[in-house]
Amino acid sequence: MTHVVTENCNGCRFTDCVATCPVTCFHTDGNMVYIDTESCVDCGACVSACPVDAIYQMFMLPDELTNWIDINREKVAAHPVIKGKHDPLPGAEQRQEALGL
């Protein structure tokens, strides 16, 4: 099993998840974060940390979001690790409100 970051992170990049990850398995392309399935230990801390519910356990992904498994894998291979809490992207709070969260 692993965890997968999905579309709600796009435009937000709050990084509360990164702050709480015990194994620093998050990567970023600047727009959002992605999880490295090889390093993820399935502790689940990131799921409740995310303010916009972007993270799912792989087996709990809704059908319409399963394409994010491949996206996470590709992005992790191409982009560096992110460590610690960073400021969210400009407009993140508005996006959160627009999502109703």
Partner 1 sequence: MKIAIVGSGPSGFYAADSLLNAEAGFSVDMFEKLPVPFGLVRSGVAPDHPKLKSVISQYEEVASNEAFRFFGNVNIGVDITVDELSEAYSAVIIASGAQADRALGIPGEHLSGSHSARSFVNWYNGHPDFRHETFNLSSEVAVIVGMGNVAMDVARILLKPVDELRTTDIADHALQALADSKVKEVHIIGRRGPAQMKISYKEMCEIATLKNCSVSVADNGLELSAACTAEIESRTNRENSFNLKLLEAQASKSSGDNTRQCIFHFLKRPEQLLGDTKVTGLQLGRNHLVGEAFSQSILESSVLEQIPCGLVFRSVGYKGLPMPGVDFNHDKHCITHSNGRVKPGLYCTGWIKRGPSGVIGTNRADSMETVASLLEDASGLAETDENAVNDLVEKLNRRVSKVVSFSDWQKIDATEKALGEKNFRPRQKLVSVDDMLGCL
Interface residue list for partner 1 (CB under 8 A): 1, 16, 19-24, 41-49, 53, 57, 59-60, 84-85, 101
> Closest separation between CB of residue 93 and partner 1, Å?
18
**Residue nearer to partner 1 on the CB measure, 44 or 91:** 44
**Residue nearer to partner 1 on the CB measure, 21 or 74:** 21
> Closest separation between CB of residue 32 and partner 1, Å?
19
**Residue nearer to partner 1 on the CB measure, 48 or 66:** 48
Pairing of strands 55-57, 3-5: antiparallel
> Closest separation between CB of residue 24 and partner 1, Å?
7
The residue with tokens 């959160």 is 96
